[in-house]
Chains A and B, each alone.
Chain A
Amino acid sequence: LAKITQPISMDSYEGQEVNITCSHNNIATNDYITWYQQFPSQGPRFIIQGYKTKVTNEVASLFIPADRKSSTLSLPRVSLSDTAVYYCLVGPRRGGNKLTFGTGTQLKVEL
C-alpha cells in the first residue's frame, strides 16, 4: 500500500489561494490520486481526481508532477465554507483494498 503523508493543518484567509500537498513517494505506476473534502459530522465527498499533469474542475485544480511522488490540491479564492479536512487518496485503477487514504489536512479559513 502507498504511504501517504499530508500536513496536519493549514490556515488561510478568505479570497486567498490555498495549496495542499500530499506526498506519496512509493506511488505505483497504475495508481490514481483522488482528493476528498470532509465537513464536521459528515462523510467525505469527492473533489477531484487525476493521474498525471494537471486536472481542473469547477471547484479545484490538481497538479501532479512528472515523477508523481506528490500532488497538490489547489483551491482558488477560498471562503469560510471551505473550512474542512481534505484527504488525499491513492490507489490502483481497480482499487478494492489497495486504496489508501492520507491522514488528512485540516484547513481553517478566516475572515
Chain B
Amino acid sequence: NAGVTQTPKFRVLKTGQSMTLLCAQDMNHEYMYWYRQDPGMGLRLIHYSVGEGTTAKGEVPDGYNVSRLKKQNFLLGLESAAPSQTSVYFCASSYSALATDTQYFGPGTRLTVL
C-alpha cells in the first residue's frame, strides 16, 4: 500500500515550458487535492476533485489545469510556466470532503521555473 505518490520529485523548467505533475493514490479515495507550498504562506489549494471526471477550482487556480480521468490519478498541468510558479507542490487525497476525514499527502514535487 503506497498511499499517495507523486512524480516527478524535482523538475526545472524554463519560462514558457509546459509540464504535467502526476499524483496517484491506492486508497480508493474519492477526493483529491493539489496544493502549493511557498515560504511564509503555508499550503494553498490550487484545484481539487470530488470524484472521477470532476474537478473544481481552489484558492489559487490561475495558470494551472487539472484532470481526473481515473479515480486513482489526479494530474496537474502547467501550460506555460512562469517564475511565480516556482514552488513545492503537494497532492493529497481523502475518503470524502468531510473536514473530519484525514487528508493523506504525497511527498511533494519541487518545481523551479527559470
Q: Is A46 an interface residue (CB 8 A)?
A: yes
A91-B57 contact, Cβ under 8 Å, with A43-B106, A96-B50 = no
Extra contacts, 15 of them, besides A1-B59, A43-B107, A97-B56 (Cβ < 8 A), are A8-B40, A31-B99, A42-B105, A43-B90, A43-B106, A44-B90, A44-B103, A45-B105, A93-B99, A96-B97, A97-B58, A97-B59, A100-B59, A101-B35, A104-B42
- Shortest Cβ gap from B41 to chain A (Å): 6
- Shortest Cβ gap from A38 to chain B (Å): 8
Residues of B near A96 (CB, < 8 A) are 31, 48, 50, 56, 97
A96 to B104, CA, bound (A): 14
Report A46-86 residues with CB < 8 Å from chain B CB. Answer: 46, 49
Per a CB cutoff under 8 Å, which of A1, A45, A95, A104 touches B99?
A95
Interface size class of B (residues with CB under 8 A): 20 to 34
Residues of A near B108 (CB, < 8 A) are 41-43
What total of chain A residues lie within 8 Å of the partner, measured CB to CB? 28
Q: Is B45 an interface residue (CB 8 A)?
A: yes
Interface centre among A32, A36, A96 (most CB of B within 10 A): A96
A101 to B92, CA, bound (A): 13
Residues of A near B107 (CB, < 8 A) are 41-43
Q: Is B114 an interface residue (CB 8 A)?
A: no
